[in-house]
Structure 1
Amino acid sequence: MNHPPQLLGMTTSTLAWLILFAALILSAAILYRRYQSRRILVQRVAELEALATAGRSIVGAELDLEALSKLIAIESGLVIDNSTFQVGIFDGSFYKILYWTIEGDQQPVPQSFDLSENSGVVGWIREHHQPLLVYDFQKEMATLPARPRYISSYPPRSAIFVPMISGEAVIGIIAAQSKEPDRFNEDDLRRLTILANQAAAAIANAQLYEQASQRAAHLELVVKIAQEVNAINELDDIFNQVVYLVRKTFGFHPVSIFGLRAATREAEIKASTLPALLEARIQIPEGVGIIGTAVSQAGIIIANNTHDDPRFIQTMGRVSHPDIMNTRAEIALPLIVDDQLLGILDVQSPQPGAFGPTEKTVLEALAAAAAAAIHKTEQFTRQQEQAWG
């Protein structure tokens, strides 16, 4: 069948235009894909440069854990939202937060939390060496591998938790949170994981340096305090010197020593850096408050958040003093020699989480030195009385 020449020309022309149009669309698609690939490549290069810069800053940072943690948070802010952010390390069963912001507001640090009873998400990450990305806590709560331990009254909606791993151990965690759901994605997780790997090496080195420095400094202090206390032969002078040296050396306040009344097993104030307690002649029954609990158990009692600990007594005896009202952490240490309870060394701090494993170990050594000096002086006094008798 023959087509008229005009129709054949129109068909050929239309086909040519269609081919040209298709070619233009294909070229545009190829150019757009190249543009997208180049844009992604430029973004990735910029991201890697930012991560490399952050990594160099972190690795080359000073060997101070709190300063290093702050630097980690600042550098993380270059690649993810760090308005609610924390850097924490593990110390035995304690999780110690060294840097913490909530919605950009700095929180007091360091703060220690005991994970022995409820370790939450942090404990799960420590145990499984795995990061956790939560798009929306409200939707995912039932499927999370562990229930979070909320410290805030306004819990987050989304979060990233990344372990800092050194060798075979998880030494700490970096976490970013948001009140918005779906605030973080896999790219944020990848970026924070890269930073966490670099941060882990720096944190591990800083920990080794700090542990060695603290061990030497604490040993020197304990020996010095023990020597000073043992050189005293009057009980009242021993009591006063112990509380004075603890406050002077570690900055804790109030620091008090309580003797034990044999007949009633009441803890009776003997010395304190807070004169109002001495003036009130405080006596605490066995089993009452943190001090009384230390008496009944003859063991160390720690309250790292006194606002949530029902054993804490804000009005010690009849004394309601700002220094006691402001107490956020308290540790009561028994003074024991040859299984005999002589009294209690009570140390308080306005800083929540003040008494971690390191502080506990040092104060326990000081309590042992004080107990030995008290026992020696009591024996010396009895021998003098017998000689005069």
Structure 2
Amino acid sequence: MPESEIVAALAARKQELRKRLCERAGDGIEPQPGSDAELLLDSLCGMAPESYRLAYTASAHRLAEQGGRLEVRLESIQQWNNVLSDAIRVMLSDQPSLASEAQRFLSLLTADVMVTLTRGFQEVKNKQVAEDAEQARRGLTRMEALQRINAAANSILELDQTLQTAAKAVADEMSADLCVIFLFDDITRELQLRATSGPNPSSGHFSLQLGQGYTGWVAEHGHPLIVRDAFVDARFSHEAVAYGEPYRGLLAVPIIFFTMVKLQGVIAVQTKEPRYFSQQEVHFLEIVAGQLAMNIENGQLYEQTDEELRRKVHELSTLHRVSAAVTSSLDLDNVLSMIVAQAVLLSGADSSILFELDPTTDRLRAVASHGFDTAAISNAAVQAGQCCVGRVLHSGEPSMQVDCMRQDVGCFLHGLPDVVGDRHAVLSAPLTTVHGPLGALCVFSSQRHMLNAHQLQLVVTFANVAAIAMENARLFTETREGLRTKEALLREMHHRVKNNLQQVA
């Protein structure tokens, strides 16, 4: 019997078949559109194979994506097949040949539906398995990339070399054409390019302000930025072409040291073609940024510690050299010139003047200087108690001032703008021994803020060394004068004794 006659006979009885399905459901409600029962009935009553296969394939995809069980679904379809088979047998009991052909057609249709469902379900599962395998592979390669970065950070490499290794590892792992790393400078408030996996900007040194370009945007807002085509975005197009050719796809993440909520910089990956980065890629780059934040903080602390150690060694060697000069040289002028020069060098100041107190006039006069025109300050003098120099002599404590040479009319530099120049901050320290004040040491800086405690301690140390040098010179002079006096007395005594002996003879 032709299939078309079977389909026509069943279509004519579709309502009765639907009624039997409702009775089987037990709730008296007709099968919902798109349900297995309704699709099976429509397929039985003339729906084109392409249509029901497409519908069952989509249904199988949804089942697999939602984590459903295929065997439960196939069992349900078999149950609806049984209900329809029984209904056909009853309805066509007076036409046994047609009933037999209709049941055979239903069995073939159900088998086709089950195969379609199984194939669609397996397609999604295979895709999920492939995706899981790819994700596992990605996880492994990303772990290896993180290990490369961590190994570089734990080696003896400098920070810039560590960042360069990180940029290349990230670019390779994310299949990006360029990875750049900017670090934030707390002093200049700028983002400075420190590493790139590809070309450097043609300008060489490359820095951005907060809010400037996509790097500045990420640093200012503190969260990731994804742009499919940065080249066509007016906010970011300038930075997108800074590396010689346009880079379009963009993912940028801030580097934040969360222990102190401190902005360390920005890491960005870019592609030459438009690309929308996934959340998994965002997550990976955030992990890299977190690791870099710790590495950068440790690297900066190491650099600071290393620099501090070198500076301390240099300071100690300089102080030792000056102390040796004080104890070995009787040329006070050379010793004082060395002291004012080294005080400027170690304190980071620009110039200095050493004053000596004349106890007879109670005035301070300049005896050594560094960084000044010697002729301009050779006659510099100030009364004790006046100017910051004279006041520290009375207080016995160091003093720091800003622009006092412009505001204090009693200052020895007041009214001498050519001599003052660009100097603003001044630190004065008294020269004092157990015998009383001997003078004062002043250092000048072009900075418009107070010198720090370490600089203050250095200047005070040099002031003490200068006081010792002056005291030694004074003691040497007094000793030499005492010896001359004794020598004169001895000659006089020798002359008189000789004369007396001659008279006795």
Cα pair 1:162 1:193 within 8 Å, conserved: no
Distance 1:102 1:363 in 2: 33
Which residues in structure 2 correspond to 1:198-209 (within 5 Å)? 206=306
Match of 1:368 among 436, 458, 464: 464
Q: Is the 8 A contact 1:258 1:268 kept in 2?
A: yes
User: Does 1:72 find its partner at 2:72?
Assistant: no
Aligned to 1:221: 321
8 Å CA contact 1:238–1:374 kept in 2: the answer is: no
Name the counterpart of 1:39. Answer: 138
Alpha-carbon distance change, 285 to 365 in structure 1, aligned in 2, over 3 angstroms: closer
Q: Secondary structure at the match of 2:380?
A: coil
The CA distance in 2 between the partners of 1:295 and 1:159, in whole Å, is 51
Query: Is the CA contact (8 Å cut-off) linking 2:255 and 2:290 kept in structure 1?
Result: no
1:41 and 1:347 map into 2 onto residues whose CA distance is: 60
CA–CA distance in structure 2, aligned partners of residues 242 and 249 of structure 1: 11
CA shift for structure 1 position 176: 0.9
Q: CA distance change for structure 1 residues 325 and 82 in 2, over 3 Å: closer, same or farther?
A: farther
Distance 1:76 1:284 in 2: 58
Q: Which residue of 1 aligns with 2:396?
A: 298
The answer for the alignment partner of 1:318 in structure 2 is 415
1:191 is aligned to 2:292:
yes
Question: How far apart, in 1, do the equivalents of 2:108 and 2:364 lie?
Answer: 113
Shift in CA distance, 32/276, structure 1 to aligned 2, threshold 3 Å: farther
Q: Highest Rg: 1 or 2?
A: 2
Equivalent residue of 1:231, what SS? coil
Residue matched to 1:342 = 438
Give per-residue Cα distances to partners, 1:71-95, cap 9 Å, x unaligned.
32552465487533469xxxxxxxx
Other-structure match for 1:11: 110
1:56, CA displacement in angstroms? Answer: 1.8
Distance 1:283 1:212, change over 3 A: closer
Displacement after TM superposition at 1:214 (Å) = 3.7
CA contact (8 A) 1:300 1:334 kept: yes
> Contact conserved, 2:255 with 2:292, CA < 8 A, in 1?
no
SS at match of 2:417: coil
Matched residue of 1:317: which SS?
coil
Q: Tell whether the 8 Å contact from 1:267 to 1:295 is kept in structure 2 after alignment.
A: no
Deviation at 1:320, TM superposition (A): 2.8
Report the 3-state secondary structure (helix = DSSP H, G, I; strand = E; otherwise coil) of the residue aligned with 1:57. Answer: coil
Query: Which amino acid in structure 1 is aligned with residue 321 of structure 2?
Result: L
1:287 and 1:39 map into 2 onto residues whose CA distance is 75
- Which of 351, 354, 361 aligns to 1:254? It is 351
In structure 1, distance between residues paired with 2:193 and 2:364? 41
| TM-score, normalised with respect to structure 1 | 0.56
After superposition, the C-alpha distances for 1:178-212 in whole angstroms (9 at most, x for unaligned) are 6x9x9x945422333256557767876x4796378
The residue identity in structure 1 corresponding to 2:290 is L
Distance 1:208 1:104 in 2: 23
Local SS of the residue matching 2:416:
coil
- CA shift in 2, pair 1:241/1:161, >3 Å: same
In structure 1, list runs of 5 or more residues that go unmatched: 59-70, 88-96, 107-134, 140-157, 165-172, 304-308
Q: Percent of pairs identical after alignment? A: 15
Amino acid corresponding to residue 344 of structure 1 in structure 2: A
**Displacement after TM superposition at 1:237 (Å):** 6.5
1:277, 1:319 within 8 Å by CA — same for their partners in 2? no
Matches for 1:30-179 after TM superposition, within 5 Å: 30-58=129-157, 71-76=158-163, 78-79=165-166, 82-85=181-184, 102-104=190-192, 160-161=256-257, 176-177=264-265
Give 5+ residue unaligned stretches, structure 2. 1-85, 89-101, 168-179, 195-217, 223-253, 269-281, 489-505
Q: In the superposition, relative to structure 1, how do residues 39 and 208 fare at CA in structure 2: closer, same or farther (>3 Å)?
A: same
Q: Which has the higher contact order (CA 8 A, sep 6+)?
A: 1
Deviations 1:42-100 (A, max 9, x none): 12212321331343233xxxxxxxxxxxx32552465487533469xxxxxxxxx9xx8
Higher strand share: 1
